[in-house]
Amino acid sequence: MRSNPAEYELIAPGKLQAVVSLLASEPGQWLPIAGGTDLMVQYAAGKLQSRKLVSIWNLPELRGIEVTPEEIKIGAACTYRELREHEVIVREFSLLASAARCTGGVANQNRGTLGGNIVNASPAADSLPALLAYEAELILVSVLGERRIPYINFHSGYKKMKLASDELIRAICLRRKFSGYFQYARKVGARNAQAISKVCIAAMGRLRDGAVEDLRIALGSVAPVPLRLTEVERAAAGKPVDAELVRWARETAAAAIQPIDDIRSTARYRAAVAGNLVAEFLQQLRDSGKTV
Ligand SMILES: Cc1cc2nc3c(=O)[nH]c(=O)nc-3n(C[C@H](O)[C@H](O)[C@H](O)COP(=O)(O)OP(=O)(O)OC[C@H]3O[C@@H](n4cnc5c(N)ncnc54)[C@H](O)[C@@H]3O)c2cc1C
């Protein structure tokens, strides 16, 4: 059943300080809404529990992409369109640019935000594996000020996260140290656009004298939270990317994940595809000539 708009209240204070003060003064009463692409689906289906919504869409402190020599700081309310069109993101953080390009369709990319994708916390969210691979940090803000936490510590279980009810994500920070890496992103879904991932991968690596110097492999839609394949990453360090390593990595990746059977796919298919994507990444890394 559709929601009744008369039962909902939406305010837009327009200033960050006013929003965080509101969140602190009435704990758990107000739900932030950014692009609304997840919340409005719940609303349309009559499933949006929170009746009081506070807009964070136009808060200047959550918009814009700040670039310094050391890092880029992406405002949490930046849209996929802004991400996929940003010169530094396209050049140095292609895993994130690629996730932005394959999220939903054009309308969704004009409205959906990176902060919303993180807090919605779908296991199939496309941008999250990229954040894991880049070892992103999140800046959280409340009336008490800001705190910075590694993204890898943020999601602790299915739809569970270390975000207090009076906090917002203000920005997502990525260190600028990956320009020499081979970067590989793929989304496997039912079609190329408007498809939820059956499996998605964001991986990157660098070789030294033909052997693995650094590897980062992150998968989505294969567990309650996005996963980094640290066992594969550690075991591959210092080894040449030969047929034996590729075979072992394929099998280890398929065994390391916890996929489920659902409406979009089966656990068996997801495990096979995850292994194949890891193998394809390693083969392309070997052939890429990205070495120091
Ligand atoms: C047609 C369609 C296709 C889609 N396709 C994809 C897809 O291919 N891949 C994919 O990953 N997702 C997809 N989505 C999901 C959605 O677009 C993304 O998750 C999007 O990034 C959500 O951002 P938003 O700003 O619209 O979030 P909103 O709907 O505004 O909010 C989502 C949640 O995040 C919270 N929130 C938002 N911003 C902040 C913040 N800064 N701080 C604290 N809390 C915050 C809200 O309170 C809410 O709980 C799709 C959705 C639709 C409707």
Sequential DSSP letters for 214-244:
EEEEEEESSSSS-EE-HHHHHHHTT-B--HH
How many of the other CB atoms lie within 10 Å of CB of 157?
A: 9
pLDDT mean across residues, the chain: 95
Q: Is the CB of 21 under 6 A from ligand 1?
A: no
Q: At 195, is the pLDDT very low, low, confident or very high (cuts 50, 70, 90)?
A: confident
Tell me the pTM: 0.96
Q: Is 103 in the pocket of ligand 1 (CB under 6 A)?
A: yes
Cα 78 to ligand 1 centre (Å)? 11
Reported as a pLDDT band with limits 50, 70 and 90, residue 261 is confident
Whether ligand 1 lies within 6 angstroms of the CB of 75 is answered as no
**Which of 98, 117, 146, 163 best tests ligand 1's pocket when mutated (most atoms within 8 Å of CB)?**
117
Please tell me the residue having the least CA distance from ligand 1 atom 53: 37
**Direct distance between the N- and C-terminal alpha carbons of the chain, in angstroms, rounded to an integer:** 59
Q: CA 144, 139, 143: angle at the middle one, nearest 5?
A: 15
- Which pLDDT band holds residue 290 (cuts at 50, 70, 90)? low
The predicted-structure confidence for 112-155, as pLDDT tens digits, reads as follows 999 999 999 999 999 999 999 999 999 999 999 999 999 999 99
pLDDT for the residue 191 = 80
Kindly report, residue by residue over 61-109, the tens digit of the pLDDT. 999 999 999 999 999 999 999 999 999 999 999 999 999 999 999 999 9
pLDDT above 80 (res 193):
no
Residue pair 51/7 in contact (Cβ under 8 Å)? The answer is yes
Residues 6+ apart with CB under 8 A from 106: none
pLDDT of residue 291: 64
pLDDT at 179: 87
The three-class DSSP label of residue 201 is strand
Tell me the average pLDDT across 269-273: 93
Output the CA–CA distances (angstroms, integers) from residue 38 to 30, 136, 256, in the order listed.
16, 23, 30
Where is pLDDT greater, at 191 or 178? Answer: 178
Instruction: Please tell me the distance between residue 38's alpha carbon and the centre of ligand 1 in angstroms.
Output: 5
Pairing of strands 199-208, 211-220: antiparallel
Q: What is the pLDDT of residue 113?
A: 98
What does the pLDDT read at residue 292?
A: 62
Phi, psi dihedral angles at 45 (to 5 degrees): -90, 5
CB of 221 sitting under 6 A from ligand 1? no
Q: Is the CB of 226 under 6 A from ligand 1?
A: no
Tens digit of pLDDT for each residue in 204-236? 999 999 899 999 999 999 999 999 999 999 999
How many whole angstroms from 136 Cα to the centroid of ligand 1? 18
Q: What is the distance in A from the centroid of ligand 1 to the CA of 47?
A: 15
pLDDT attached to residue 47: 95
- As a whole number of angstroms, the distance between CA 199 and CA 189 comes to 7
Of 8, 51, 108, best ligand 1 pocket probe by most atoms within 8 Å of the beta carbon: 108
Tell me what pLDDT residue 258 has. 87
Contact 192, 103 (CB under 8 A): no
Mean pLDDT of the region 232-259: 94
